[in-house]
Each structure stands twice: as C-alpha cells, then as structure tokens.
A and B are shown apart, each in its own frame.
Chain A
Amino acid sequence: MKFLFDSDTWQEIYGSIRKNKVRTGITIIGVLWGIFLLVVLLGAARGLENSFNKAFGNFATNSVFVWTQSTDTPFKGFQKGRRFRLNMKDIQVLKSEYADEIKLLAPRNQTMNLIIKDFKSGSFKVSGDFPVLDQIQKKKLIYGRFLNQNDINSSAKVTVISEDMYKQLFEKDKMPIGESIKINNINYKVIGVYEPSNTIDFDGDTAYIPFSTFKKVYNTASNIDWMMITANEGIDIEQMESDVLLTLKNLHKVHPEDERAFGSVNLGKEIAKFTGFLTGMQFLTWFVGIATLIAGVFAIGNILLITVKERTKEIGIRRALGATPKSIRQQIILESVFLTTVAGMIGIILGASVLKIIDTLFGQGVDATLVNPTVNIPIILAAFTTLVILGTLIGLIPAHMATIVKPIEALREE
C-alpha cells in the first residue's frame, strides 16, 4: 500500500495519462456517462416519487370512500334499480362492528348553494362535516380554525371557507373571521379560511358547516350522502372494504353479490398501482444505470488493454531497466482505478448539477412534476465503491497481459 502514497507512482500515472489524452478522455467519458445516468435517473425517479407523495401528502392514503347508487339485482321482494341512502345508523353499526379495523369514519352530506356576502356572490359546494374530516383530509388554515365538537353539539351556524371563496366574496384586506355570509339565504359566521390544497382534493372550494347544522337546514334527517373511512395501521384495507360493503348490503337488504348498489373507491389500492409503477421505474433506472456503468468500466478495461498492447515496448523497456512484474501491475491497476474514480466523481458532480437544474426548472411551485429530485448519499457511495472495485478488477486483465509477455518479446526489434 505504501506505493499509493508515493509521489513517484502518481508521477508515472500522470505521465502516461498526459501522453494519452484522447484515450484518457474517451475512457473517462465511458464511466462518467454511466454514473451520470445513474444519478440523474435515480434523482428523477425520486423526484417523481416525492411529487407523488406530496400529492397524497395531506390525505390519509389508507382511505376508502363509500356511497350508494342503485341496485342491479332484485332481492327480498325489492325490484332491481332501487335507490336508497346511507344513514347514521349505518355509521353506528360500522363503528361498533369494525372497532378494531376502522380508525376514522367521516359521514358527509353535500350540496351546491349560492353564497352571498354583501354585494358579492358565487355558487359553491356546501358540506356538512364532522371535525374528524380534518384528520382524514388535512386542512391548512390561513385564518381561524376548523369545525369543532362544540359547533356540532350546538348546531352552530358557522362556516369554514376556502381562500378563493374569501377572495371572491370579500373586499380586499377585509378580515373574514367573525363576518357573516349568506348560504342559501341563511346567515353563517365565518370561523376559518383554508388554503387551497396543492395536493389531491375531493372537495375543491367548499364551505364546511357542522354536520348537525346541515341536517337541520337541509332537512336530511339521518341520511348521509357518502362516507370516508380510514383503516388502522396494519389492517388489510381491501379486506376491510369488502367487509364493510357486505355489512352495508345486509343493512340495506341488498343482494350480497350486487355490484352496483354501492360505489366505493379504495385509495390505498389506487396508490398501490402507482407505487408499483414507481418501483418498476426505480428498478429500470438501476438496471439502465448499472448496465451503462458496467459498459463504461469495460470500456476502460478495453482501452487499457489496447494501451497495454501499444505500450508493450515501453513495458519491455521498463522491465529491462529493472521494473518487477508487480510494479508494472500495480501501476496499470492504479491507473484504471484512478481513471474510474475521477470519471465517477465528475459523473456524480455533473449528475448532481443536472438534478439541481431539473429542480429549478420543474421542481418549484404548486404543481411541480419532480419535487426535490435527490439521490441518497449511501447509494452514491455504494455506486462509487462498486466503481472502484470494478476499476480494480477490470485493470487486472491488462495488468496481467502486460506481465505475461516476456521482456525480450516486448523488446524484439523488427
């Protein structure tokens, strides 16, 4: 190992590299390209994953949404095509029967209404909700607060509106909290304003009012439009979905095999599809990157082999002057490792720069396609180590070739 720290060793390598600029350039580009691709592709894949995670960031990804449609099978004396509604009793049953599986359950009622503030107005969605909604679909509040249990208990006439609604209905710079707005001609006090979600959002601009208030004002009795369910940690969400649907079918006298009666979306399942795609992409990235890298390293080995042949004579001279086979081997391997290392470092730096550029071009703003495209340091280190090892291994071949030729054959004058 001492020879590694010997300035003469490096001088020799410098001499041989300086002499073969073109060859050195080509060699370096081979490996550089490989690791560059690996870094950029991995970074881009990560960026895509990040933007995807961000899109679902405020949403519990283990959620199921359930609503009713109309039956497609006659059952227990009912015709097919029967319409029916979910109700609060269903909620009670589900909560008690699936106490272990269900984490959060949000029954919801929604409608469209004209909302008026002084001389301004607009048509918006109005949603009767429980405070639990904020846990399933996180709301970022700019002003005030979200609905709470007191609002439910007292059926308070309060509402939480979106920032866009606020801008559309209020004079500029007017503080919205405590102001009254008219929804369907009834006065509500604004208690909160939330930011538009830059992620997945099923509501859009909605005026949230207490579930109990909605029930009174719109006379919905115990009916509900639909519900959001999230599962506890470790629960098979698909299993839960089908169990819940079966229970609901039973409660509503729907044929167990009725496909149309209930509509449901399993967010977990949809996400799994996409994560599968992402994993596939990661795999592809690794495959392409590593294949390119190996090709690059082989290029180095190949070019070294060519130069060893070109340098047979020189190596013969050196051996006549007293170079041992070991010293020749060491020098060629070190040259190989040095080239791969330098190429690797340049590749990583270039790759990182490109990721930086990608980040500034596509990674900023609300609908960024590649968020924070990065590559893990351990991954880089692993790739780098692999590179050095491959560089050593590939250097062995030309090093060996350089020493099996007898010095006399190398020196023979034609």
Chain B
Amino acid sequence: MMERVPNEYGRFGDFGGKFVPETLMLPLEEIEAELDKALADESFKQEYIRILQHYSGRPTPLTFAPNLTRQVGGAKMYLKREDLNHTGAHKINNAIGQALLAKRMGKKKLIAETGAGQHGVAAATVAAHFGMDCIVFMGEEDIKRQELNVFRMKLLGAEVVPVSSGNRTLKDATNEAIRYWVAHCDDHFYMIGSVVGPHPYPKMVREFQRVIGDEAKEQFLAREGKLPDVIVACVGGGSNAIGMFYPFLQDDVRLVGVEAAGKGIDTPHHAATITKGTKGVIHGAMTYLLQDEYGQILEPYSISAGLDYPGVGPEHAYLASIGRVRYESATDDEAVAAFQLLAQTEGIIPAIESAHAVAKAVELAREMPPDETVLICLSGRGDKDVQTMMRHLGAREGEDIATVR
C-alpha cells in the first residue's frame, strides 16, 4: 500500500513542497484551504461535473482501435478520447476546475502560462465563459511557432504577453507568470497548466484531471469486464498522465509515462526529464529537471511544444522513484510516424504530444498477446500540429506524404 500523497507539507516522498518567494506563501495557503473546502463540498463537485458535461462534452468516449490493433498485431488497443473535449485537449478539465475555485475565492482575473498555447486557449476559454479577465504569458519563440493559438486566445478576449527573457519558451513564460503573480497576488488567481509548481498546485491539477482515469476505468470495465493490462500516457508536466494514472495506482495495471526524446536522449536535444534529469528545484517544486552541474536550468527540446518543459510534476518524480510508474521516451521521428499511423488507420489525428504515447503503446502492444489490452490516453487532437507536420514531412526530401506508411 502506498502512502497518501501529498502530505501536509505538499510532499510526495522527497518531492514537491513550496520553494517560492515569501510573498507567495500566504496566497498558496489561501488556495490550499479553499481547495480542501471545495473538494469536500458536494455542490462544488456537482457544478464542476455539470460544466464538464454541458460545456466540454464529457464524458469523452473510450474508443476501440480495431485497425490499429490489426496492423500492430498484438494486444487490443483502446483510446481515451480527450481530443474530443471542447478546445481539443484535456487542458480544459483543469481550467474549468481552477476557474470555479477562483470564482469561489472572489478572484476575477486569471493568470496563465502557455507553451503550445493549449493551456492558454483553455484558460482564455474559461475566462470568457465565467466572465473573467485573462492574461497569458507566452515565450516569443513559441508565439512564432504557434501563431494560430495566439490568435485564438486573442479572439477569446485574452491578453497575450510575449516573454523575451531566457530562451523565450515555456520555462520562461512560467517564470514570468509567477513574477506577475507575485506583483498581483492580491486580486489575481494563477491558473497553472499542469501538475507542476508549488503545493497545492500539483495536487489541485491532479484532482481536476483525475476525471480522465475515473471515467476510463468505468468505461473499460463496462466494455472488457476487466482492467487494462497497460496504460500509456505522454508526460510534459504530467497532467494528462496523472489524471489517467491516479485512479489506477492501487490496481494491478502497468503504467507507462512517455517523455519526449526529441532528437534522441543521447543528444542534448530532448525533454526527457525523468529519464535524463537530476533532482532539484524548478518553479517552486522539488522534482527532476534538466540542469547543468551548477544547477542552471537547461533548455529542453521536442518537436511538440507541449512536452518541451525542463521539469516534471513532483508526483511523477515520486512515482518513478518508488517504481510504480515506468517512464520511457519517444523521439520526434517515432512520434511523427505514430501520428501518421493513427491518422491513417483510425481516421483520428492526434496531438503531436499524444502521438508520443501512441508510439510507445504500439511498441508495447506488438509484444503482447491478443487477449491483453493497452489503453492510450489520447490527450488532444492534432489540428494545431498540422503545420508542424507539413514542415517536418516536407523537409524529408522527395518523400510522398500520402505513402509514408
């Protein structure tokens, strides 16, 4: 039996905690107190579920992937369809939960950071829905890479602030969002986009994402009469993965998190934080991170902007340390191949982040007998990635995209 985490200090074993400037300690205590009250409040839970159903379209389906299964020739493969959420990814589950908490705390101004723009879009969306203001910090590099999502956020009425510090990507956008929060914590609510940051954020985001795993468990049992043998999810900060894994932690199910191996984990160009990182503090939490020997944080790389983060949620660091979840990685090329494979076998275009999970799941399923099952968390849809794919595939000279498979 595993210990209950996080404990009262926000620790998951050695990981987690609150490594933030003193100014933020009281705001964090206030959020923690309100979160605990909200989670114990039936009417809060009902409103959260009601909005998930009527606004985001939950429950999302569990889809059997017969063609993919046949092609791979191993275990039966299932997809949990977070791609069918409003705004196209699991990020909205968390955004709705945190917006409800902000409302409960009387805060009408939201701060968010974003990399690919998926969390920024989710934050801007719930801000519009709840009649709140929203300011989104985004690295200048990412703004260039994700033009469409920037425009989407603006259409939704959010203010997008370009971040020019550091390497101008998600890590720096998160720094800047936290700095802005330090200056405006009296009337703003910081809506973090993954299971990262200081306590109670990793716990809060897990609680607002576990709906993925809770639904999947029920759906899978109804469909197969047993639990899946293996569950696979991609890990950036780790919110879709924790959301999916958490309800299965006590069960006899193999859990596999897939990090981005970029151009390869033996090159400097990857975002495989647990696979290659070391213990330290990033964005207020003790966890694994990519850093040099002097503790300066390194810039990660992945084709997928949503996995391009040098840290990882502290609960994942903990689950890795106790061996409950296995963390592996998939390269850009493997993710791109899986992206095409799923599109062409099932007519489902996955987010490039989710394609990392598909790649690893295919590899595992191939080695498993046909009476076993693999469940993939399909965290988002790939409309946002079509341009990236065009660039990536176009770069392979002379290759005909239609016949890559």
Q: Do A and B originate from a single complex?
A: no
